[in-house]
Amino acid sequence: MVNPLHDLLTEQPNPASARIDKLSTLEMVRVINEEDRRVAESITPELPSIAAAIDGIVAAFGAGGRLFYIGAGTSGRLGVLDASECPPTFNVPADLVQGIIAGGEAALSRATETTEDDPVIGVRDLLARGFGAADVLCGIAASGRTPYVLGAIAEANRLGALTIGISCSPGSELARASKIAITPLPGPEVIAGSTRLKAGTATKLVLNMLTTGVFIRTGYVWGNLMVNVQPKNTKLLDRAVRIIGSATGVGYAEAGEMLKAAGNSVRRAIESWHGGAK
């Protein structure tokens, strides 16, 4: 049975912000800032689960699988955001990491969250992407009870795929349904129930770790440099040249020439300088 909303940690009133509407603007933002400090700490107990998820995704990639995020509202938008950042950051195919949001692309800029109550739509949207047993599904729901996400997770489990559940409520249905549960508990929100705040920040931190960790493990990072960056605009071209310079010790102009000689591949330029792959 899905837990009633009023029982959820993310729905509880926060004593620290009980009078926030009466505070000065400076005092108000101090309260918000103090509550935000708790978010990073809430991730620490979940690090073993995050590491297990990273290793599972790496194994899936090695077997030809892909990573899918699925969520509704803020959770869905965060998944789509993380997925969309992977191609420009790591130069990976656009379909390797995919974000699915209840309501489709329209929901990215306008709240269309009624579909989140239907598990069948979650299954439909997942299968429409060609999801299979070799893939990984990461369900995101701050409450851990969103039917749209739970339906998709159930289908992925039925197919035998690895499932990961990210929620911010202890003992959530999503955590119980997923093979790997990641459950940071940043506590009640400054504005009760507004999970775009601390829960959203906690989710973003976890997603950052997942894809960054996966692509470090799969060799897309040299030291702490993102050597697979795509230099498709002026900013990224400048970054690519500076990365080559940092990795090789050459000057900016020479690094630029090395990038051109390597066909705009930062990795090939660095590997050429160092005499081979890392």
The mean pLDDT value for 54-63 works out to 98
pLDDT score for 111:
65
Q: Provide the percentage of residues in the chain whose pLDDT is more than 90.
A: 73
Query: How many alpha carbons lie under 13 Å from residue 71 in its C-beta half-sphere?
Result: 32
Determine the Cα–Cα distance for residues 195 and 145; give it in Å rounded to an integer.
Answer: 13
152 pLDDT above the threshold of 50 = yes
Tens digits of residue pLDDT in 210-224: 999 999 999 889 888
Catalytic residue flag (residue 27): no
End-to-end CA distance of the chain: 51
Given the residues 11, 35, 116, 155, the one annotated as active site:
116
Lowest-confidence range among 112-126, 170-184, 247-261?
Answer: 112-126
Cβ(141)–Cβ(168) below 8 Å: no
Catalytic residue flag (residue 85): yes
Alpha carbon 194 to its chain's center: 19
C-alpha angle 264/270/271, rounded to 5°?
Answer: 110
Q: How confident is the model at residue 2 (pLDDT cuts 50, 70, 90)?
A: very low
Determine the Cα–Cα distance for residues 149 and 268; give it in Å rounded to an integer.
Answer: 41
Given the residues 85, 113, 254, 257, the one annotated as active site:
85
The mean pLDDT value for 52-74 works out to 97
Determine the Cα–Cα distance for residues 198 and 265; give it in Å rounded to an integer.
Answer: 38
pLDDT score for 1:
41
The predicted model scores a pTM of: 0.88
Domain boundaries defined on the chain: 11-217, 234-274
Residue carrying the six token digits 């400048």: 238
pLDDT score for 40:
94
For the chain, give the mean pLDDT.
91
Determine the Cα–Cα distance for residues 85 and 98; give it in Å rounded to an integer.
Answer: 10
Query: Which tokens hold the place of 18?
Result: 């009980």
**Domain 11-217 adopts which CATH fold?**
Rossmann fold (3.40.50)
232 pLDDT above the threshold of 70 = yes
The DSSP H or E segment spanning 261 is helix 252-261
Calculate the alpha carbon distances from 188 to 12, 38, 266 in Å.
Answer: 5, 11, 44
When comparing pLDDT for 193 and 82, which is higher? 82
